[in-house]
Structure 1
Amino acid sequence: MNRQFEPTIARASSLSLKRRACSFAQARLRGFAAFTLGSATAVYNLARQAYLTEITPPLRRARVLSTLGGFHRIGLFIGPFLGAAVIMLGSVQSVPWLGVACSGGTVILLALLGSEAGREGSSTVMDESAPAPRTTAGLSVWELAVRYRGMFARLGVAIMLVSAARGARQSVVPLWAEHLGLHESTTSLIVGIAGGLDMLLFYPAGKLMDRLGRLWVAVPSMTLMACATAAIPLTGTAVALGVVAAILGFANGVGSGIVMTLGADVAPPDNRARFLSLWRLCQDSGEAAGPLVLSAATALGSLAAGIWIAALAGAGAAGSLARWAPRYSPLANLRSRKSISAVP
């Protein structure tokens, strides 16, 4: 009797092994695709920041980089709706082709618009009371990290805290809405309203940074974000959570472009791209750490404890920026513009 079933069992075992091998190959392919996509995104983000820093005068820099951050937020807001439309018209498998089309359109636009490098307008921030900066031309990324280790240990950590608070911000509202048992449509409405406020405030924030200084936006933005994040566990209704989420979106929108702007301010003019790669490493590390810390704190204690830790990151970011940004950036507080060699 058992001999009669041996061929069937062998075929089933062989089929199972083939399926496992296929699943493993697909997982490796997805992992490679995710790694490639992440690497390409990082390089693109670095390139656009370095390019805009190079061609923009210092006292217009915040408006330009805040606008860049604002349009990025608009894209993140529109993208899911476009994806939903593609799914309705086709299928889930059609969504990656939307990404391919958007990426191809970006390449075409860049090719048509060309480069503005070399046009008048790029200038360097100079503090007449400070000693002449040492040249960094030709230094490797590692050598830059060693030379500016003090800055990265202070201002770089502040940027990591900013990014960690922002990274956790994207998760706390949906998680707390789930904790309250709100319907998915209510959660989507709350997140949508917060996202709308987030993407509407980028230009006023940039203009304020250019007129008064970076700290006039950075410190209030992170302080308000810390307070709003800390208030989320105190909410018990959809209305209360919606109000706090709106304040959180407002706080994040006011701070649009602050990380890129500070990086552009302190980057050495003769080696901007490599320096900004280290700067973005601090930024991206913070963004990745925020949700991980939130998850770990939630697993060890409670969701409220994880949210309060994220709020502490925002408060730490506000304090660190207030302490260290003026030391390294002459544009941190523009009470006097006499030391800045740029056209307002």
Structure 2
Amino acid sequence: MGIGAVTPLVALTARDLGASVGVAALVVALLGLGQLCGDLPAGWLAERLGEKRALVLACVLEAAGLLTACVAPSVLLLGVAVFVCGMAGSVLALARQSYFTVAVPSAYRARALSTLGGCFRIGFFVGPLVGAAVISAFDLQAAYVFAAASSLLAAVVTLALPDLPPTGTGAPPPRVGLRTVLWEHRRVLTTVGVGVLLIMMARATRQSIIPLWAESQGVSPATTSVIFGLSSAMDMLMFFPGGWVMDRYGRFWVAVPAVAVLGAGMVVLPLTDSALTIGAVALVMGLGNGVSSGVVMTLGSDASPAVGRAQFLAAWRLLADTGTSVGPLLITAVTGLASLAAGSVVVGVIALLGVGWLTRWLPGSPLADRRARDA
């Protein structure tokens, strides 16, 4: 909720410090870049400190970054603070997932991780509303103070978490290097992992293509906000049903339909030309995005080894975050070469191709089961 409160404000803060529009956009992008750069080191940190300590340290580091952003006298220092927050966010995400993998019985894993994903969505939905109220009562800097306080409160809550149970022998697990983990699990990372990249590409593209297409069709900013808000509400409502389906019937029956819905939505979106039709497509895409809440984390937890879990999940998150970055960049590139409609269709077609890829490699898919029986 704290990060959700300040994310829309970073560009405004950069502009207040004298940044151009392009530089302000770059400062915002540093949050995602920090997450990418922090993914692999996050695995090392969680493996060395343990998930609980890594979570507390990341919360404190995030609070420090937010307070620095609050008082930053220059765009350069603001950018450094945003980058640090991104790196802290990668540690938080990985350590949470690793903790859930061990602490939650496998029979409830998908529901637990889907609920975790739902908490992210709720926080990012409520955060900007709280941030707006704080700014109205005080000023822009107060939102950063609120976000920092939220991070510190999260650190305190984390301290109340029970420690993870010891290994079966009672001895600390052996430590393995990142290269060893990547090599031993290269097959799953280059098959299911690539599928995860495609899932995240489709999901990230949805967030940028809907408002851009609405604006290109002359829909007012207020109406666009309503459309995106309704889509986000659908997104939030579907996280637990998606987890239930994954636990009951298998991960395939959420991952593949969700990507199919998102891909089809992006292919159909250029055919819409009014607030009503754009809103209808946005709601369907919100349904696909919401039901897949937690699926990437669940697939990663399923595939993670007992030895080297943190390093494996770090590589898994790197693939996922790469997909998150690739989607909007692909839209930008194709739009520059052709048009926004072409960009939407290209990403949609890639997502639909991802359906075939996931069907080929995802454990539990009919094709994978048939191969296993034949073997």
Say yes or no: TM over 0.5. yes
- Which residue is equivalent to 1:313? 350
Q: Which of 98, 121, 132 matches 1:84?
A: 132
Q: Which of 57, 71, 80 matches 1:32?
A: 80
Task: Say which one has the larger Rg.
Answer: 1
Query: For 2:111 and 2:275, how far apart are their aligned partners in 1?
Result: 35
How many residue pairs get matched? 295
Please say if 1:276 is aligned against 2:324.
Answer: no
Query: For 2:130 and 2:166, how far apart are their aligned partners in 1?
Result: 36
Query: For 1:332 and 1:138, how far apart are their aligned partners in 2?
Result: 33
The normalised TM-score by structure 1 is 0.81
Contact 2:188–2:303 under 8 Å retained in 1: no
- Which residue is equivalent to 1:342? none
Please say if 1:241 is aligned against 2:278.
Answer: yes
After superposition, give the CA deviation of every residue in 1:300-321 in whole Å (9 maximum; x if it has no partner).
Answer: 1100011112212321332221
Q: Which of 160, 165, 175 matches 1:118?
A: 165
Q: Percent identity?
A: 40
The root-mean-square deviation of aligned C-alpha atoms, in Å, is: 2.3
- Which residue is equivalent to 2:105? 57
CA spacing shift, 1:332–1:106, aligned 2, 3 Å: farther
Q: Which of 251, 258, 274 matches 1:221?
A: 258
| Structure with larger RCO (C-alpha < 8 A, sep 6+) | 1
For structure 2, the 5+ residue unaligned runs are: 1-17, 20-71, 370-375
After superposition, give the CA deviation of every residue in 1:280-325 in whole Å (9 maximum; x if it has no partner).
Answer: 0000111011111111111111000111122123213322211111
For structure 1, the 5+ residue unaligned runs are: 1-18, 123-135, 337-344
Q: Which of 88, 92, 103 matches 1:44?
A: 92
Contact 1:159–1:317 under 8 Å retained in 2: no
Q: Which of 241, 245, 257 matches 2:294?
A: 257
After superposition, give the CA deviation of every residue in 1:102-160 in whole Å (9 maximum; x if it has no partner).
Answer: 1111112112x22252299x9xxxxxxxxxxxxx9432112211222222221111111
AA of the residue aligned to 1:117: L
- Which residue is equivalent to 2:23? none
- Which residue is equivalent to 1:202? 239
Give the SS at the match of 1:297. Answer: helix
- Which residue is equivalent to 2:120? 72
After superposition, give the CA deviation of every residue in 1:210-254 in whole Å (9 maximum; x if it has no partner).
Answer: 111000111111111111111111101000000000000001011
Contact 1:161–1:316 under 8 Å retained in 2: no
Superposed counterparts of 1:129-144, under 5 Å: 137-144=174-181
Query: For 1:59 and 1:284, how far apart are their aligned partners in 2?
Result: 27
Contact 1:230–1:308 under 8 Å retained in 2: yes
Contact 1:158–1:316 under 8 Å retained in 2: no
- Superposed displacement of residue 25, structure 1: 7.6
Superposed counterparts of 1:167-186, under 5 Å: 167-186=204-223
AA of the residue aligned to 1:315: L
Contact 2:176–2:307 under 8 Å retained in 1: no
Contact 1:162–1:313 under 8 Å retained in 2: no
Please say if 1:108 is aligned against 2:156.
Answer: yes
- The list of structure 1 runs, each at least 4 consecutive aligned residues, that deviate by more than 6 angstroms after superposition, is none
Query: For 1:265 and 1:55, how far apart are their aligned partners in 2?
Result: 13
After superposition, give the CA deviation of every residue in 1:245-279 in whole Å (9 maximum; x if it has no partner).
Answer: 00000010111111000000011112211110000
After superposition, give the CA deviation of every residue in 1:33-80 in whole Å (9 maximum; x if it has no partner).
Answer: 121111000000000000000111212110000010011111111111
